[in-house]
């Protein structure tokens, strides 16, 4: 008797990004514009180089002008300042890590909020944590959100409940995020909790919960330390998102509940090979969606800059 076929649906980032890329290409062509994105590469990290190559390829396909500037890391701050002042540059991104730690956080804040396609400046991060979705009181200028690609993927695969009001559409969902970096993991947990989810945020120091309290009565999420273990929280989770930047890390499939949605945003495969025997939906990577969202953010910033100029 043959083994049963797994009923898991694998969703590729290329499929999720396709509609966004088509729309971006259409907008650029119809409006006869050529927004310019500058990427700064100041390291020899193979993952960063690969990311830069993806960015260049996608931009060429959609009509975005992309310029990769390889610079010495000691000169990076000055080069960012120059790009901030250059009116021909509509968006800036930096391929991290450069120095690592606090110095990289400082560099993130050197990028103008009107050119930050990654949403890593303090203003955008602050707004994510405080559930502020616009830069202005008139709500005409949307914030750039650092973890948009993951939100887009979850909307695509139906994690968000469209029946519920905007801002509450993850209410009732329990989500585990295994990564609490300041670039993706922590703001992602905050964003998901602000949309109503109960989030277990996992890193090597322990597990925290991000929620909007009982009945999602809080305007913005709160964070609480716990004594919980990975073995306790993963089996409770409707969605498990991994982003561990280590090739050897594998989340044991035996912890996953049947029907879980499994999403990996690490450049390494964080799930075991048999993940599809447990998951209903599996997203093995998000790279192409990330680049598409950078381009969408670039178009927004292009429009913000031209509106301010008028």
DSSP track, 246-294? -TT--B-GGGSPTTEEEEE-SSS--B-TTGGGTEEEEE---HHHHHHHH
Instruction: Calculate mean pLDDT across residues 188-217.
Output: 96
Confidence of residue 3 (pLDDT cuts 50, 70, 90): low
Q: What's the pLDDT tens digit per position in 207-229?
A: 999 999 999 999 999 999 999 99
Whether 266 and 303 map to the same domain: the answer is no
187 in a structural domain: yes
Q: How many CB atoms lie within 10 A of CB 155?
A: 13
Residue 60 belongs to domain spanning:
32-117+287-310
133 in a structural domain: no
- Residue 73, pLDDT above cutoff 60: yes
Whether 186 and 240 map to the same domain: the answer is yes
Q: State the CATH number of the domain containing residue 307.
A: 3.40.50.10860
Phi/psi of residue 118, nearest 5 degrees: -90, -15
Average pLDDT of the residues of the chain: 93
Whether 40 and 73 map to the same domain: the answer is yes
- Residue 4, pLDDT above cutoff 80: no
16 in a structural domain: no
Q: Pairing between strand 198-203 and 206-211?
A: antiparallel
Tokens (6 digits) for 85: 């002042």
Confidence of residue 267 (pLDDT cuts 50, 70, 90): confident
Q: What's the pLDDT tens digit per position in 41-68?
A: 999 888 888 889 989 999 999 999 999 9
Q: Pairing between strand 260-264 and 239-242?
A: parallel
Asked if 147 is an active-site residue, the reply is yes
Confidence of residue 2 (pLDDT cuts 50, 70, 90): very low
- Which residue is catalytic, options 59, 110, 143, 147? 147
24 in a structural domain: no
206 in a structural domain: yes
pTM: 0.88
Whether 260 and 152 map to the same domain: the answer is yes
Q: How many structural domains are present in the chain?
A: 2
Q: Are 37 and 294 in contact (CB under 8 A)?
A: yes
State the Cα–Cα distance between residues 102 and 13, nearest whole angstrom. 31
175: enclosing H helix or E strand: strand 174-178
- Residue 1, pLDDT above cutoff 70: no
Q: Pairing between strand 91-95 and 36-41?
A: parallel
Q: What's the pLDDT tens digit per position in 235-250?
A: 999 999 999 999 999 9
b or e along 174-207 (b: 16 or more beta carbons within 10 Å of the residue's beta carbon)?
bbbbbbbeebbbbbbbbbbbbbbbbbbbbeeeeb
Whether 226 and 154 map to the same domain: the answer is yes
Q: What percent of the chain has pLDDT over 70?
A: 97
Instruction: Calculate mean pLDDT across residues 195-199.
Output: 97
Whether 153 and 269 map to the same domain: the answer is yes
42 in a structural domain: yes
- Residue 28, pLDDT above cutoff 80: yes
Instruction: Calculate mean pLDDT across residues 271-285.
Output: 96
182 three-class SS: coil
Helix residue ranges per DSSP H, 63-210: 76-85, 101-108, 122-129, 148-156, 185-194
């Amino acid at each position: 008797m043959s083994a049963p076929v797994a009923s898991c649906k694998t969703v590729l980032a290329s499929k999720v990004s396709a509609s966004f890329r088509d729309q971006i290409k259409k907008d650029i062509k119809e409006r006869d514009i050529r927004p310019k994105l500058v990427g700064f590469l100041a390291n020899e990290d193979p993952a960063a180089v690969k990311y830069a190559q993806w960015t260049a390829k996608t931009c060429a396909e959609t009509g975005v002008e992309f310029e990769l500037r390889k610079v010495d890391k000691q000169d990076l701050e000055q080069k960012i300042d120059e790009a901030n002042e250059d009116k021909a540059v509509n968006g800036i991104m930096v391929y991290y890590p450069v120095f690592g730690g606090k110095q990289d956080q400082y560099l993130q804040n050197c990028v103008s909020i009107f050119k930050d396609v990654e949403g890593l400046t303090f203003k955008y991060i602050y707004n994510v944590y405080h559930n502020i979705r616009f830069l202005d009181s008139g709500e005409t200028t949307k914030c750039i959100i650092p973890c948009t690609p993951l939100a887009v993927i979850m909307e695509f695969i139906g994690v968000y409940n469209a029946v519920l009001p905007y801002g509450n559409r993850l209410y009732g969902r329990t989500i585990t995020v295994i990564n609490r970096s300041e670039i993706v993991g922590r703001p992602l947990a905050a964003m998901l909790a602000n949309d109503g989810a109960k989030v277990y945020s996992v890193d090597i120091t322990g597990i925290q919960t991000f929620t909007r309290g009982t009945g999602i009565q809080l305007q913005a999420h709160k964070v609480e330390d716990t004594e919980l273990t990975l073995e306790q929280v993963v089996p409770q989770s409707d969605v498990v998102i991994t982003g561990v930047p280590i090739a050897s890390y594998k989340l044991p499939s035996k912890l996953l509940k049947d029907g879980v949605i499994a999403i990996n945003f690490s450049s390494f495969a964080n799930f075991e090979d048999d993940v599809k025997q447990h998951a209903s939906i599996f997203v093995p990577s998000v790279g192409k969606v990330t680049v598409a969202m950078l381009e969408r953010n670039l178009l927004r910033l292009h429009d913000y800059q031209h509106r301010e100029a008028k």
